[in-house]
Amino acid sequence: MIYIETGSTDVYYNFGLEYYFTMEKRLPDTVFLFWRTTPTLMVGKYQNVLEEINKPYADAHGIRIVRRMSGGGTIYTDPGGWQFTFIQQQGSAQIEFHQYIAPVVDALRALGVDAGFNGRNDLTIGGKKFSGNAQYRLGDATVHHGSLLFDTDIAQMVASTTVDHYKITSKSIKSVRDRVTNIAEHLPSPMDPEAFKAHMIRYIMGGSDAVYSLTAEDDARIRQLALEKFNNWERIYGADPKFNIERTGRLPGGKMQFKIDVQKGVIRSAAVYGDFFATVDASAICAALEGCRYDRASVLEALRTHGIDGAVYRISAEEMAAVIAD
């Protein structure tokens, strides 16, 4: 096994590095990575981003959003947690978690943590989840990656992954705390995150000192891949399936209800209802939205470009955009 230090907390860079050593620069043995990120929401390959996250909260708190190449659910990561990756060339064509999870569990047990595998894709302590795992194939290679809640901000995890922000209460946080846990809470003696990382790498590598150091050429290509495959709007939202959204706002000028058909992150059709007053037909408001990306800034620009701002009595384009794409 060969360890690579990513040297980055940028999720797009780290996923770019995964891709690079899977598809473009093949090393002679299984590659192992152990890394962490700034606050980030990692959405599964087959998920609808806008139905899985609280985007207004994420935007307001500087939480990055990325779409993984693997399936599974959305996870929240931050500097209080760790990620691990195994890249195995010519790996099994079947999804198989145990061989990658077992060394992680063993490393935790060596610290005195009673970790276990729930049989699907989660690791638990006393029935509480602290790790989610995902796996995918690229060419003939298997990429397995997982998260480890070490000392993660649980309150922020709840807030950013709860779509209806009106339901984020101390009760919902308590509910999540009943189901998830941080590894740090179960260590026999305190351990700082870096010491934990050092232990996990040393144990999983089995004492081997096989390390690959990134070159300037590697770094440049990884940064390019990060932009091409992970840090761009099309990659994050363009893969969203078709879905219908209904949004209602009660505004100073009356009620506005929007029914929107979004496909691959773009509004394909819209309808508006309500008790508002306007100088334009409802069809003009809807026409302004068609072909627009489904995010608040793009919606606002479209409404303004098509002359809708000021056309609805006591309801500004900004207020409408906030209702449509909150």
Residue 36 has pLDDT above 90, yes or no: yes
For residue 247, how many C-alpha atoms fall within 13 Å in the half-sphere facing its CB?
A: 23
Label residue 166 by pLDDT band (50, 70, 90). Answer: very low
The pLDDT of residue 95: 63
The distance of Cα 44 from the centroid of its chain, to the nearest Å, equals 7
Q: Please give the Cα distance from 199 to 207 (Å, whole number).
A: 11
Segment among 109-113, 160-164, 223-227 with least mean pLDDT? 160-164
Q: Please give the Cα distance from 4 to 256 (Å, whole number).
A: 53
User: Is 243-324 the same fold as 2-237?
Assistant: no
Task: Find residue 85's DSSP bridge partners.
Answer: 33, 145
**Which residue, chain included where needed, has tokens 């700034």?**
38
| CA distances in angstroms from 196 to 85, 100, 242, listed in the order given | 16, 19, 43
Q: What is the topology classification, in CATH, of domain 243-324? A: Enolase-like; domain 1 (3.30.390)
Tell me what the mean pLDDT of segment 192-216 comes to: 95
| Burial group, residue 220, by CB count within 10 angstroms (0-12, 13-18, 19+) | exposed
Tell me what the mean pLDDT of segment 65-73 comes to: 86
| Burial group, residue 237, by CB count within 10 angstroms (0-12, 13-18, 19+) | buried
For the chain, domain boundaries: 2-237, 243-324
The pLDDT of residue 92: 63
pTM listed for this prediction: 0.80
Closest-CA residue to 67 (of 43, 90, 47)? 43
Torsion-angle region of 140 (φ positive above 0: left; ψ -120 to 50: alpha; else: beta): alpha
Structure tokens at 180: 């998830």
**Which residue, chain included where needed, has tokens 């649980």?**
154
- List, for residues 275-285, the tens digit of each pLDDT value: 787 888 888 99
Q: What is the topology classification, in CATH, of domain 2-237? A: BirA Bifunctional Protein; domain 2 (3.30.930)
